[in-house]
C-alpha cells in the first residue's frame, strides 16, 4: 500500500504529460521538417500568415491603446459601479466564442445595431479585415485589461503620491511612475492577449468568415486545409505551436526580468567603482 500510492502518482503524471505532449509532437513527426517549410510556402499558408500578422498588429495595438488607460482608471479610481465595470470587462473571458461572434454580428452586421448606420456611410464591417480585428479585440482584449488592472493595482500608491508632491501632474505621474512599475505585468497581459488573439477561431469564423487573403487567419486556415491538404494544415499548425511556445516562454521569463532589475545596479556599481 505504501509503495502503491507513489506509483499511482507517477503513472497519472506520466499519462497526463504523454496525453498533452504527443498530439503536439505528432504535428512535427508526421512529415519531415523540410516538407513542413515547403508546405508553409503554399499560397494558402502565405495569405493566412499575412492576414494574421496584419490583423494581429492592428488589434493588439488598439487593445494596448485603449486597454492601458482603461486598466489604470479601473485600478486607481474608486467610483460607484467600479466592480460592475470590472465584471463587464471579465464577461468576454468566460463567454463562448460563438456567442461573441453572434453578438458582434448583431452589432456590426448589415442589419445590426450599428451596422445599418455604418453601411449608410458606406462602411461594411462584417466579413472584412475590420471584422477580424474586432473579433480578436473582443475576445483577447479583456485578458490584457484584467491583467493590467492587477498590475496597476499593485503599484504602491505612496509612490504615485510622492510623484504628485514632487510636482508631477497626473499624466507625468502615470508615465514616469505607474507605467514603468506596472510594465512587467502589462507585458504579461499583452502576451496572454496576443496568444488568445492568434488562436481566435469561433467569433472570427462567424463574424468575419474564412475568405483566403481577406479574413482567413492561420487558425482558420488549419481548419480549412485539413481535408484539402493535410500537410499544409500540419505546417501551419507547427508554426502556431512555435509562436505559442514563444509566448509562453516570454510570460515565464518576465518575473525573472523583474528580479534582475534589482541585481542590475550591482553590476553597474562595480563597473562604476573600478
Partner 1 sequence: MASLDITLSHGLRDVRLELTLEVGSETVALVGPSGAGKSSVLRAIAGLLRPDVGRIALDGTAWLDTATGVDAPPENRSVGLVFQEYALFPHLSVRANVAFGATNGGLVDDVLERMRIGGLARERPARLSGGERQRVALARAIAREPAVLLLDEPLSALDAHTRDTVRGELRELLASLRLPTILVTHDFEDAASLADRVGVMVDGRLLQVGTASALVAAPADPFVARFTGATLLHGVAGPGRDGLTRVVLDVGGVAFTTDVGVGRVAVAVHPWEVAVSRTAPEDATVNHIEAPIDSLVTIGNRVRIRVGPLAGEITTGSAERLGLREGETVVASFKATAARLIQLA
Q: Which is closer to partner 1, CB of 20 or CB of 272?
A: 272
Cα separation of 18 and 191, whole Å? 26
254 binds partner 1 (CB under 8 A): no
Cα separation of 101 and 200, whole Å? 11
154 binds partner 1 (CB under 8 A): no
Q: Residue 258 in 3-state DSSP?
A: helix
**Number of residues in the chain:** 274
Given the rule CB under 8 A, which of 66-74, 146-154, 211-219, 265-273 is the region that contacts partner 1?
265-273
Q: Which of 100, 177, 203, 208 binds partner 1 (CB under 8 A)?
A: 177
Q: Which is closer to partner 1, CB of 134 or CB of 155?
A: 155
Looking at residues 180 to 219 of the shown chain, list those that interact with partner 1 (rule: CB under 8 A): 180-181
261 binds partner 1 (CB under 8 A): yes
Handedness of CA 121, 122, 127, 133 (dihedral sign): negative
Alpha carbons within 13 A on the beta-carbon side of 251: 15
Looking at residues 104 to 133 of the shown chain, list those that interact with partner 1 (rule: CB under 8 A): none
Q: Which is closer to partner 1, CB of 113 or CB of 269?
A: 269
Cα separation of 144 and 92, whole Å? 12
Q: Which is closer to partner 1, CB of 117 or CB of 260?
A: 260
169 binds partner 1 (CB under 8 A): yes
Least spacing, CB of residue 185 vs partner 1, in Å: 13
Q: Which is closer to partner 1, CB of 75 or CB of 235?
A: 75
Cα separation of 273 and 6, whole Å? 54
Least spacing, CB of residue 166 vs partner 1, in Å: 3
Q: Which of 166, 245, 246, 249 binds partner 1 (CB under 8 A)?
A: 166
- Alpha helical stretches, state H, the chain: 4-29, 33-40, 43-76, 82-94, 97-108, 115-120, 129-153, 157-165, 170-173, 179-198, 202-207, 218-225, 230-273
Going from the C-alpha of 85 to that of each of 89, 137, 218, the distances in angstroms are: 6, 17, 33
Q: Which residues bind partner 1 (CB under 8 A)?
A: 156, 158-159, 161-169, 176-177, 180-181, 261-262, 264-266, 268-269, 272
Amino acid at each position: 500500500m505504501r509503495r502503491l500510492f507513489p506509483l499511482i502518482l507517477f503513472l497519472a503524471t506520466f499519462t497526463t504529460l504523454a496525453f498533452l505532449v504527443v498530439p503536439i509532437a505528432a504535428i512535427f513527426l508526421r512529415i519531415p521538417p523540410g516538407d513542413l517549410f515547403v508546405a508553409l510556402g503554399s499560397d494558402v499558408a502565405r495569405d493566412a500568415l499575412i492576414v494574421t500578422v496584419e490583423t494581429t498588429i492592428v488589434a493588439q495595438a488598439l487593445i494596448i491603446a485603449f486597454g492601458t488607460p482603461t486598466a489604470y482608471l479601473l485600478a486607481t479610481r474608486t467610483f460607484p459601479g467600479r466592480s460592475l465595470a470590472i465584471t463587464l470587462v471579465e464577461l468576454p473571458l468566460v463567454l463562448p466564442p460563438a456567442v461573441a461572434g453572434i453578438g458582434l454580428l448583431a452589432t456590426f452586421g448589415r442589419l445590426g445595431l450599428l451596422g445599418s448606420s455604418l453601411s449608410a456611410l458606406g462602411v461594411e464591417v462584417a466579413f472584412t479585415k475590420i471584422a477580424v480585428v474586432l473579433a480578436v479585440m473582443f475576445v483577447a482584449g479583456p485578458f490584457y485589461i484584467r491583467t493590467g488592472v492587477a498590475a496597476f493595482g499593485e503599484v504602491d500608491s505612496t509612490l504615485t503620491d510622492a510623484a504628485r508632491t514632487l510636482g508631477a501632474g497626473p499624466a507625468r505621474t502615470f508615465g514616469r511612475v505607474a507605467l514603468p512599475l506596472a510594465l512587467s505585468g502589462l507585458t504579461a497581459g499583452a502576451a496572454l492577449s496576443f496568444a488568445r488573439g492568434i488562436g481566435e477561431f469561433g467569433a472570427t469564423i462567424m463574424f468575419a468568415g474564412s475568405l483566403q487573403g481577406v479574413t482567413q487567419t492561420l487558425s482558420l486556415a488549419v481548419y480549412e486545409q485539413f481535408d484539402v491538404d493535410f500537410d499544409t494544415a500540419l505546417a501551419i499548425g507547427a508554426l502556431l505551436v512555435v509562436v505559442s511556445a514563444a509566448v509562453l516562454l516570454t510570460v515565464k521569463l518576465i518575473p525573472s526580468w523583474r528580479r534582475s532589475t534589482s541585481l542590475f545596479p550591482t553590476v553597474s556599481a562595480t563597473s562604476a567603482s573600478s
